[in-house]
């Protein structure tokens, strides 16, 4: 009975797909715990599980496996859940995350996140108005309306990402584009980073000592007597604040330098790992694929150019024939 009913089998496979997506997210995508928010992990795992389930249902539909009514129910359930995640949950959470990082909007972040989501929905809906696959008999929030927009926009984005991947893959895996990085270069840059951090700490200590001294002087000379005493206290406070502002500017410049040095150090470490990876068997295999796809991309560019020339010639001959 279990094998003849897709409900139990599909539910079990969805749980397995969800667990696999959870482990893939933790072990492969973000193995160094770059993302510490469980909502992102849950949304990714849910999307991965239902996407795999849809692919599974397509195979079941082609092979005619299991009950057709159960397949239809799970097919519609998968579509509803994926549309809910893609159109409502993910854009709202992205807007909420953006608003949460703005200090001025932090208290009313839920309200502004709703505003960002409504703005997204407006442009998302207006973008699909020229699509020729819509039908006026369907409602505004029907599955057909949402699938038409998600399908066209998603296919366009996938084509753009595919083109980017075809160009970026050779650049990423080919050893020709790797620069020579040694341990001495990394140690020298890390030494500069540590020196910059020490300078930042020392200047912040100077600022703290100067502020403490100014505060103590303000307590001692809290009520200056006479005209010259007032002028002296004002001059001293002005010179002290000016020195603090200069030190703060130096600290800001050093902090920006430290951020750039840190990013450059991380880039050198990543390049060193790529060099070590290129020496392995898998790295040599991807290096060969990089050369292959480079030649393939150049060939496709020339083919598109020839097709464009032939199309232009045909249009020109057709126009002359009509004339």
Return the C-alpha torsion angle 237, 241, 247, 252, nearest 10.
160
CA distance 313 to 224: 92
Contact call for residues 41 and 25 (beta carbons, < 8 A): yes
Tokens of 122: 């407006």
Contact call for residues 243 and 210 (beta carbons, < 8 A): yes
> How many contiguous H segments (helices) and E segments (strands) does the chain have?
9, 0
Per-residue pLDDT of 114-146, as tens digits, reads 888 899 888 888 777 777 666 555 556 677 777
Alpha-helix residue ranges (DSSP H) falling in the chain: 6-24, 38-63, 68-83, 90-100, 109-127, 143-173, 183-220, 226-278, 281-322
The per-residue pLDDT for 1 is 42
User: Which parts of the chain register pLDDT below 50?
Assistant: 1-4, 219-232, 234-235, 238, 320-323
Rounded to 5 degrees, what are φ and ψ at 49? -65, -45
Per-residue pLDDT of 184-197, as tens digits, reads 888 998 899 899 99
CA distance 202 to 199: 5
Contact call for residues 170 and 291 (beta carbons, < 8 A): yes
CA distance 284 to 17: 32
CA distance 255 to 200: 7
∠251-256-261 over CA atoms, to 5°? 120
- Helices 281-322, 226-278: axis angle to 10 degrees equals 90
């Amino acid at each position: 009975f279990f094998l003849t009913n897709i409900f139990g089998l599909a539910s079990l496979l969805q749980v397995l797909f969800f667990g696999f997506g959870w482990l893939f997210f933790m072990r492969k995508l973000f193995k160094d715990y770059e993302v510490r928010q469980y909502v992102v992990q849950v949304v990714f795992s849910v999307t991965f599980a239902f996407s795999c389930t849809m692919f599974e249902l397509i195979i079941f539909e082609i092979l005619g496996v299991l009950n057709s009514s159960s397949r239809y129910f799970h097919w519609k359930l998968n579509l509803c859940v994926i549309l809910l995640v893609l159109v409502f949950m993910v854009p709202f959470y992205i807007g909420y995350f953006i608003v949460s990082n703005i200090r001025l909007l932090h208290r009313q972040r839920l309200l502004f996140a709703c505003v960002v989501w409504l703005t997204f929905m407006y442009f998302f809906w207006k973008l699909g108005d020229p699509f020729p696959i819509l039908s006026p008999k369907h409602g505004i929030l029907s599955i057909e309306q949402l699938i038409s927009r998600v399908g066209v926009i998603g296919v366009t984005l996938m084509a753009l990402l595919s083109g980017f991947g075809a160009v970026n893959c050779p650049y990423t895996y080919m050893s020709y584009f790797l620069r020579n990085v040694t341990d001495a270069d990394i140690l020298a840059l890390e030494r500069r980073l540590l020196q910059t951090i020490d300078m930042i700490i020392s200047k912040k200590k100077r600022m703290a000592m100067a502020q403490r001294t100014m505060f103590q002087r303000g307590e001692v000379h809290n009520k200056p007597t006479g005209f010259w005493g007032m002028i002296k206290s004002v001059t001293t406070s002005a010179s002290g604040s000016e020195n603090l502002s200069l030190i703060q500017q130096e600290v800001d410049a050093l902090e920006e330098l430290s951020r750039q040095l840190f990013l450059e150090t991380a880039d050198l470490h990543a390049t060193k790992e790529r060099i070590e990876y290129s020496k392995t068997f898998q790295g040599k295999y991807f290096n060969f694929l990089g050369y292959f796809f480079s030649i393939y991309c150049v060939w496709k560019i020339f083919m598109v150019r020839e097709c464009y020339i032939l199309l232009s010639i045909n249009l020109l001959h057709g126009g002359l024939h009509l004339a």
